[in-house]
Amino acid sequence: MLLPALAVLSAAWVLFAWAGYPVLCWLLARLRPRPVAKGEVASPLSVIIAVHNGEAEIEKKLEHTLALEYPGEVEVIVASDGSTDRTEEVARAFAGRGVQLVRNPERQGKEAAQARAIAAARGEILVFTDVGARLEPGALRAIARPFADPQVACVSSEDVVPAGGGEGAYVRFEMWLRRMESEAGSVPGVSGSFFAVRRELARPWPADLASDFRSALEAARRGLRAVCEPEARARFGTAREPGAEWQRKVRTVRRGLAVLSAYRDLLDPRRGQIAFALWGHKVARFTTPFALLLLFAASAAAAPAASWAAWALGLQVAAVAFAGLALAWPRLGASLPGRLASFFALVNAAMLVAWIHHLRGERAVVWEPTRR
């Protein structure tokens, strides 16, 4: 009875992570919604752009940022993290238009660069955005509106990526799920490419923890909310370089595991909705690779004596083979089943590698921006 039980529990855990939790979250948002009291906000706002060697994009990013709509005062700060190209030279050329440059002489990581910018910022609302994110014209106005609610301390944007590829389907699923979490109470993480916090939430600002994930959890720890704003949209292209998506996912999960460990007190069920969100969205997702391995091992061990196990093992082998073919054969990989299968395999393999780094005590502090 042990092997069937292990197989059932493993399969149930995977289903909960990718289907059960989203459905329960949708039900919670429908049955017990917590609306945000949005309103027009014109508080002084600081836009912080952390960048490392972004000379190819920084000029366009600054022109675009300076053209964004906002009813109040806006300052723009470029935080260079040890850039060795023309990034700082380009940023200085915008000084006459109010752009401020702060710099870390050596690479210390994205959060360290953000922290230096925070020390120089004057805004009551701090907006963080990546050099590769293209914000829609009304994005600043939109991301500030939830701050009219005094219970809101952190606001996430929504990512928009091209429809093709497994990444596009995954991002759309994540954005839908984040809206459900926001409607139910609080999101357990925000989009690192474009998010905003109240200034008081930025004290402290650890240099060794991912600022997007940590900001949402810091809000929850203080009894405040982190919500998403669907009208605050940032657009991206797909990763330019082969393997860039793999590297980004491994790095993201490594950083996520470090934050989750630092805020593990929020996993206490007495924390309510945020604990449920962390268990369902983060813990279940991060541990899916182990559940898949356990399911495979239980099926393989029981297959010689049980037909159910032989069928389960065969289906798993076929799924892995299909994902591998989709990754290796562009024509198959371009189909919807191929895109979904290959991306699911990529995500789970990346999470497994991230766990290996985490358990070895290796932390991902210095970031390598994904070129899109």
Q: Where are the domains of the chain?
A: 45-273
pLDDT, one tens digit per residue, over 18-62 is 999 999 999 999 999 999 999 999 999 999 999 999 999 999 999
Q: Which of 130, 350, 154 is nearest to 236 (CA)?
A: 130
pLDDT, one tens digit per residue, over 139-193 is 999 999 999 999 999 999 999 987 665 667 788 999 999 999 999 999 999 999 9
Question: What rounded mean pLDDT belongs to the chain?
Answer: 93
Q: Residue 217 — very low, low, confident or very high, per pLDDT cuts 50/70/90?
A: very high
In the chain the beta strands, taken as DSSP E runs, fall at: 45-51, 74-81, 99-104, 125-130, 134-135, 152-160, 194-198, 225-235
Report the CATH fold assignment for 45-273.
Spore Coat Polysaccharide Biosynthesis Protein SpsA; Chain A (3.90.550)
Contact 250, 350 (CB under 8 A): yes
What's the Cα-to-Cα distance from 100 to each of 70, 214, 257, rounded to whole Å?
A: 19, 26, 33
Residue with tokens 């070129």: 371
Q: What are phi and psi of 320, to 5 degrees?
A: -65, -45
Q: What are phi and psi of 351, to 5 degrees?
A: -65, -35
What's the Cα-to-Cα distance from 87 to each of 54, 59, 124, 223, 248, rounded to whole Å?
A: 6, 8, 27, 39, 22
- In this predicted structure, the answer to whether residue 311 has a pLDDT above a threshold of 50 is yes
Is the pTM of the predicted complex or chain greater than 0.85?
Answer: yes
Percent of the chain surpassing pLDDT 70: 94
Query: Residue 232: which residues within 8 A CB-CB, separation 6 or more?
Result: 135, 136, 139, 140, 142, 143, 155, 156, 157, 158, 194
Return the pLDDT at 242.
47
Q: CB count, 10 Å around CB of 327?
A: 17
Please report which helix (H) or strand (E) contains residue 59, including its range: helix 58-66
Distance in angstroms (rounded) separating the CA atoms of residues 219 and 207: 17
Q: What are phi and psi of 56, to 5 degrees?
A: -70, -20
pLDDT, one tens digit per residue, over 82-127 is 999 999 999 999 999 999 999 999 999 999 999 999 999 999 999 9
